[in-house]
Structure 1
Amino acid sequence: MKPTIHTIGNHAGEEVTIGCWLANKRSSGKIAFMQLRDGTGFIQGVVVKAEVGEELFQQVKGLGQESSLYVTGVVQADDRAPSGYELTVKNVEVIQHAEDYPITPKEHGTEFLMDHRHLWIRSSKQHAVLRIRDVIINATYRFYHERGFTKVDPPILTANSAEGTTELFHTKYFDEDAFLSQSGQLYMEAAAMAFQRVYSFGPTFRAEKSKTRRHLIEFWMIEPEMAFVDHEESLEIQEEYVSYLAQAVLNEAKAELKVLGRDTEQLEKIKAPFARITYKEAIERLQAKDYEIKWGEDLGAPHETELANQFDTPVFITHWPKDIKAFYMKPDPENEDVVLCADLIAPEGYGEIIGGSQRIDDYSLMEERFKEHDLSDDAYRWYLQLREYGSVPHSGFGLGLERTVAWLSGTEHVRETIPFPRLLNRLYP
């Protein structure tokens, strides 16, 4: 394979040619410094006028930001360089000379940058965030493959809602109604009855009119479902998974974390087991801090942040009131007013990253829930049948990829953790 900036350390002392773009440049009378990127990383190219001649030196000085190039040079070790290497340039071949690149080193407003998202992802910090996203995705596949899970892909077009909500995107499926999926969970429960331990990884959609830094209209979810697994074992798998992701980012994205200025000491604390409190205890802790919240009310972002700040690790909030959780969650046998579920709250104000529960496995109880939630028997008959033919205890959860990327990378807003975000008022580019 041709050398890249990522692998350039394998060619120290050698002359190489790389395809790249000019991210930035500066020059003095005798030396020009080219900040080069090739999609795998960034490196500085040093152009010495006395070595390359007047014509090439002036050509380099006249190049516009984001011009595409073939740059030939000798790889030199340099401890001061972020990559540990720099390139002593011998020749530059211009592929395309770019002029008036919209995103300059000066400050730009968020709306301007979002309008130019197709170009913004080239910048060093955006590049680093999306590289960390890739590390998390690959770590996810490794984690579940190593533990015997089978990846199953649920449909994106569905005839029903996973949680009985109205926050769905409606479309027509020939002569009947259909919706964009807000979760693959129900289908993954069916898959778990066939393969025992499964997971899905795909896009989900919520027509939720929210503008917070934690919300996207289109986002990606990792959703495992596990037969013969109870609530407690599910929590252990969740904390093992999140710890695995944190270690992967620490080990495989050192350069990206440095670019982002991420406090890695915070990431080093993410090791199982995690803190656990019940919903009841969470309410008591909040009331002790003078928050006006009562048992039975949902938690908002300030509540989650307050609770997270009380612990060094992510914290599970377990045993929520049945009335504010989804219809499929199994009641606690010791207190049927609450269900066997948990939300995992990330530290540093990043909020909920996982929601999960043990699922109802009793046919009669699920049928009762259908009636309570006025669920269509025609649309959900197949889901009820899972309790009719070989039902077993089973549990599952969903991890939001973008929130997790935001947390582990230290990025404030989830819009920067997905290549092309879909927001309440944004469908472009």
Structure 2
Amino acid sequence: MKKIMIQDLHNHLGETIKLGAWLANKRSSGKIAFLQLRDGSGFVQGVVVKAEVSEELFATAKSLSQETSMYIIGEVKKDDRSSFGFELQVKEIEVIHEAVDYPITPKEHGTEFLMDNRHLWLRSRKQHAIMKIRNEVIRATYEFFNDNGFSKVDPPILTGSAPEGTSELFKTKYFDEDAYLSQSGQLYMEAAAMALGKVFSFGPTFRAEKSKTRRHLIEFWMIEPEMAFVEFEENLEVQEQFVSYVIQSVLKNCKLELERLERDVTKLEHIQAPFPRISYDDAIIFLNENGFDDIKWGEDFGSPHETAIAEHYKKPVFITHYPIGIKPFYMQPHPDRDDVVLCADLIAPEGYGEIIGGSERVHDYELLKQRLDEHGLDQKAYAWYLELRKQGSVPHSGFGLGLERTVAWISGAEHVREAIPFPRLLNRLYP
């Protein structure tokens, strides 16, 4: 008998099928056992009716322990009471492996306990739902960029220089020279854009930042497009179109998961381009007028400041034209001002903070040399990057979207650590 996945049961209504599954939970009365089954693709209830099966089978069903693996044979039935819409009328159970003393039970557990058991915690309904949403964000990302003429390029993870300096990078030895784990693939993606026009990367990045906030990870995944002949305003349009596309894809394809997470989807349904924009100058004024007297022009925003601005708009908002002194060397100065750059951060609502940072890049050779000097960076290490400005340089722009922050926001997860399978935190390298 062909094995079927739970996600495909709707195609087999009324049929008797075989399912490989684990027992997530169970309850029983004297005459019926209800088995909550999962197979990775979804969850379904298996119903074992005492009067319809052998005594041995019913005894087996009642004795099953949490996370025991098995093969189940049963008939697919309609079940209008569940959000999934189907259940399995169980006819046979073949135990594969009996789980003993499974540590994560339906009771409440502390965060550290759950993190120590992350390899098992992933099996829970909530974590399963978040991972499925993460997968949909990834799928929609590839779809969006492929449909819009981008080529995927994979930048190196080991680098000899850094886009934003080396103070927050992991340093390692590369034979007889120093190397760093990448904090961004951006510089390499700029080179790729000069070859392929519109490119994007999707890979792991690393920040040796000693932060314990709910927004930070040591290792996380970034989506980094770069576009030749694209200037600042066009860059913002691509960003808002991309985020809107991803949100609508999740709403369409992850309804069960959002429901399982009890996510208020009304807060996501209205998120479509265009997004509101506020300049850094006006953001400072707004904050000063709304109880944030501590923030002054020239200072970077913290989490409370970003949250206050985003909550005012109730949807993602661009904060544009930051002071040149608090942004990296590669950002193009404003054409009419020498104190701000053509950049923007996209701030998610509901306290999730910055999900995108982007800018138009410096395309003038002499200006880029000057900016490197101002930031105390070695021009030799960036010689290849400088050369891009000598060989047919063009205006170009790009951005980076943090996958985990975006997934946490869409799913409503309390902490970004739930948005990645195995989080790396300041004091956590296990499991």
- Matched with 1:122 is 123
- Matched with 1:397 is 399
- Matched with 1:49 is 50
How far apart are residue 70 of structure 1 and its match?
0.3
CA deviations on 1:204-252 (whole Å, 9 max, x unpaired) are 0000000000000000000000000000000000000000000000001
How far apart are residue 82 of structure 1 and its match?
2.3
- Matched with 1:182 is 183
Q: Secondary structure in 1 aligned to 2:44?
A: strand
Task: Give the TM-score, by structure 2 length.
Answer: 0.99
Aligned match for 2:337, one of 329, 335, 350: 335
Contact residue 269 and residue 312 of structure 1 kept, 8 A = no
Q: Secondary structure in 2 aligned to 1:377?
A: coil
d(CA) in 2 for partners of 1:370, 1:9: 59
Q: Secondary structure in 2 aligned to 1:299?
A: coil
Task: Give the TM-score, by structure 1 length.
Answer: 0.99
Consecutive unaligned residues of structure 2, counting only runs of 5 or more, are: none
- Please list, as runs of the form range in 1=range in 2, the aligned pairs for 1:284-323 lying within 5 A after superposition: 284-291=285-292, 292-323=294-325
After TM superposition, the structure 1 stretch with the greater mean CA deviation from structure 2, 401-410 or 370-379, is 370-379
- Please list, as runs of the form range in 1=range in 2, the aligned pairs for 1:15-414 lying within 5 A after superposition: 15-291=16-292, 292-414=294-416
d(CA) in 2 for partners of 1:44, 1:310: 43
Q: Which one-letter code corresponds to 2:295 in the other structure?
A: I
How far apart are residue 164 of structure 1 and its match?
1.5
Q: Secondary structure in 1 aligned to 2:88?
A: strand
CA deviations on 1:18-76 (whole Å, 9 max, x unpaired) are 00000001111111000000000000000011111211111111111000000011100
d(CA) in 1 for partners of 2:61, 2:78: 23
How far apart are residue 132 of structure 1 and its match?
0.2
Contact residue 369 and residue 379 of structure 2 kept, 8 A = no
Q: Detail structure 1 runs of 4+ shifted over 4 Å in the superposition.
A: none
Q: Secondary structure in 1 aligned to 2:142?
A: helix
Q: Secondary structure in 2 aligned to 1:168?
A: coil
Q: Which one-letter code corresponds to 2:187 in the other structure?
A: L
Q: Which one-letter code corresponds to 1:414 in the other structure?
A: V
Contact residue 159 and residue 181 of structure 2 kept, 8 A = yes
How far apart are residue 165 of structure 1 and its match?
3.9
How far apart are residue 312 of structure 1 and its match?
2.9
Aligned match for 1:415, one of 414, 417, 424: 417
d(CA) in 1 for partners of 2:125, 2:314: 30
d(CA) in 1 for partners of 2:108, 2:262: 18
RMSD: 0.7
Contact residue 3 and residue 20 of structure 2 kept, 8 A = no
Q: Which one-letter code corresponds to 2:400 in the other structure?
A: G
d(CA) in 2 for partners of 1:338, 1:165: 23
Q: Which one-letter code corresponds to 1:340 in the other structure?
A: L
How far apart are residue 379 of structure 1 and its match?
0.9
d(CA) in 2 for partners of 1:66, 1:96: 9
Q: Secondary structure in 1 aligned to 2:382?
A: helix
CA deviations on 1:324-367 (whole Å, 9 max, x unpaired) are 00000000011110000000000111100000000000101001
d(CA) in 2 for partners of 1:306, 1:121: 33
Q: Which one-letter code corresponds to 1:365 in the other structure?
A: L
Contact residue 357 and residue 395 of structure 1 kept, 8 A = yes
How far apart are residue 162 of structure 1 and its match?
1.2
Consecutive unaligned residues of structure 1, counting only runs of 5 or more, are: none
